[in-house]
Amino acid sequence: MVIGGAEDRTGDCALLRVFAERSGGTGARIALITTASGAPDALFAEYSAVFRRYGVPDVRELRLPNRDQGDGERTLTGLARATGVFFTGGDQSRLGPLAGSRANLLLRDRLAAGPLVVAGTSAGATALGQEMILGDDAADQPRTGPGLGLLPQAVVDMHFTQRQRLPRLVTAVRQRPSLLGIGIDEGTAILVCRRRFEVLGTGTVTTVEAGGKRPDVRVRVSRAGGFFDLERRRPLR
Cβ(29)–Cβ(62) under 8 Å? Answer: no
Task: Give the number of residues written for the chain.
Answer: 237
Domain span at residue 99 reads: 2-235
Cβ(74)–Cβ(82) under 8 Å? Answer: no
Catalytic annotation present for 159: yes
pLDDT in tens, 76-127: 999 999 999 999 999 999 999 999 999 999 999 999 998 899 999 999 999 9
Taking the whole predicted model, whether its pTM rises above 0.85 is answered as: yes
Candidate list 7, 61, 131, 186, residue with the active-site label: 186
The confidence score (pLDDT) of residue 148 equals 98
The confidence score (pLDDT) of residue 135 equals 72
Candidate list 7, 23, 101, 159, residue with the active-site label: 159
The confidence score (pLDDT) of residue 136 equals 64
pLDDT in tens, 138-160: 667 899 999 999 999 999 999 99
Catalytic annotation present for 122: yes
- Between the CA of residue 197 and those of 6, 24, 39, what are the distances in Å? 20, 20, 31
- Between the CA of residue 85 and those of 114, 185, 235, what are the distances in Å? 14, 21, 28
β 2-3/117-121 pair status: parallel
- Whole-angstrom Cα distance, residue 186 to residue 194? 24
The confidence score (pLDDT) of residue 214 equals 65
pLDDT in tens, 182-235: 999 999 999 999 899 999 999 999 999 998 766 789 999 999 999 999 999 999
Where do the DSSP E strands lie in the chain? 2-3, 29-33, 58-62, 84-87, 117-121, 129-133, 144-146, 151-158, 180-184, 188-193, 196-201, 204-210, 217-223, 227-229, 234-235
CB neighbours of 91 closer than 8 A, spacing ≥ 6?
36, 38, 123, 135
Candidate list 122, 131, 198, 222, residue with the active-site label: 122
Is the confidence at residue 67, as pLDDT, over 90? yes
Number of domains in the chain: 1
Q: What is the CATH number of the domain that holds 222?
A: 3.40.50.880
